Amino acid sequence: MRNQSEKREVTQSKQRESSLIPKYLVQLLSKILSDENRPIGIADLMRTAVAIRGEIPVEFVAKRLYVFSKKENSPFFVAEYPAFKLRSVSKLPDFSKVSGGLRYVTNASKVLVSSREYIDVREIVSKIEERRLYKFPTGTPEYWMYVHLSEQKKFFVQKGTLAIGLRQWRQGKVTVESGISGEPPIKRNSALNATISDQVTRNIYEANLESVVIEQLDKIEEGLQLIERQRVCPGIGRIDVLCRDRHGDLVIVELKRFGAKHDSIVDQIGRYMGYVRSYLAKPGQNVRGIILVAKADEKLRHAVAGFPNLELREFDLSIK
């Protein structure tokens, strides 16, 4: 009876997941992406689908596609996330005339006003959560942040877009010539001693670094097992990857993508380790952290050296 119940639950789960996007739409979007042979911005992808088929009677279809693309068994994957910066960082903009997404744009501006660099939409969300500026009423705050910030071109400058690709491209079955960002291809050696055959752009790689790492945890440390990705720590932020090592201890793996600043990473992972030690670890269970960076500077090396339970690892993916 138990096996039958488990099978029924798995079947129902798959049905719920597939109901996010109708089968006919999955087939249509797959064909569009296959014909283009490149990731396409989610808004452009849906406009193309509508132009081919006509109006699609699915509520919040773009958001549903985004959620569906993040599932492991989806034929799609999120190939790129956008980054934003304020047009002016001299003072906070006046958003009094903004009618939609007011809390998103106002809190994003509080994060962006201290930087002249573009900040990934996921990092914007993470910093808002860390500072307890706003409690997002949705499970996909990064999607709605992209939607609302991209609508406010008067205040924000956008780099890249929220793009969708075919998951088979990550398995080396299709050559991906370039991403939406249009950045020139960059050659690098294999990551974590593993061969990655995909031809991807820098932005595609960044968006999927977490997935690549999860698929190769043994390359980071032998016996490392995934517990949860994007673990929410209320009032603190989100742990990229939470693992258990071969001794049963908890390991936090934090990823810093190409171009990301290292100034606050030690403080950030320190807070995560403290949270996990206080709320998740069992008596006698140790907690440690691993920081993965593309290239570590001397300041970061010295900062990490001061913490016995913290390690620093470098990665280098092949981007052709």
> For position 285, what pLDDT does the model report?
93
Contacts of 70 (CB under 8 A, 6+ apart): 77, 78
290 secondary structure, DSSP code: E
Q: Is residue 109 within 8 Å of residue 93, measured between CB atoms?
A: yes
- Other CB atoms within a 10 A radius of the CB of residue 260 amount to 16
Q: Which residue has the higher pLDDT, 250 or 57?
A: 250
> For position 47, what pLDDT does the model report?
92
Q: Which residue has the higher pLDDT, 190 or 221?
A: 221
> For position 197, what pLDDT does the model report?
34
> For position 121, what pLDDT does the model report?
93
> How large is the average pLDDT for residues 48-76?
89
Which contiguous run of DSSP H or E holds residue 164? strand 163-166
> How large is the average pLDDT for residues 55-67?
89
Q: Is residue 49 within 8 Å of residue 25, measured between CB atoms?
A: yes
Strand partners, 156: 86
**Residue 161 and residue 153: Cα distance in Å, rounded?**
14
Residue 64 clears pLDDT 70, i.e. is over it: yes
Across 42-51, 222-231, 235-244, which has the greatest mean pLDDT?
42-51
Q: Is residue 80 within 8 Å of residue 44, measured between CB atoms?
A: no
Q: pLDDT tens, 231-252?
A: 888 878 888 889 999 999 999 9
Q: Is residue 248 within 8 Å of residue 286, measured between CB atoms?
A: no
Residue 178 clears pLDDT 50, i.e. is over it: no
Q: Is residue 184 within 8 Å of residue 199, measured between CB atoms?
A: no
Residue 318 clears pLDDT 80, i.e. is over it: no
Residue 115 clears pLDDT 50, i.e. is over it: yes
201 φ, ψ to 5°?
Answer: -85, 170
Q: Is residue 264 within 8 Å of residue 254, measured between CB atoms?
A: no
Give the type of residue at 253: V
Q: Is residue 118 within 8 Å of residue 85, measured between CB atoms?
A: yes
> For position 316, what pLDDT does the model report?
64
**Residue 178 and residue 80: Cα distance in Å, rounded?**
12
Structure confidence at residue 317 as a pLDDT band (50, 70, 90): low
> For position 175, what pLDDT does the model report?
35
Strand partners, 159: 83
Q: pLDDT tens, 253-301?
A: 998 765 555 667 888 899 999 999 999 999 989 999 999 887 778 888 8
Contacts of 291 (CB under 8 A, 6+ apart): 254, 256, 265, 266, 269, 300, 304, 310, 311, 312, 313
Residue 122 clears pLDDT 70, i.e. is over it: yes
Class level of CATH domain 183-314 = alpha beta
Residue 204 clears pLDDT 70, i.e. is over it: no
> For position 86, what pLDDT does the model report?
93
Q: Look up residue 21 and give its two tokens.
A: 């996007």
- Please report, for the chain, the start and end positions of each structural domain, with discontinuous segments joined by +: 2-79+163-167, 83-159, 183-314
Residue 176 clears pLDDT 50, i.e. is over it: no
> For position 230, what pLDDT does the model report?
80
Q: Which residue has the higher pLDDT, 18 or 133?
A: 133
How confident is the prediction for the chain on average, in pLDDT?
A: 79
Residue 5 clears pLDDT 60, i.e. is over it: no
Q: Look up residue 127 and give its two tokens.
A: 């910093």
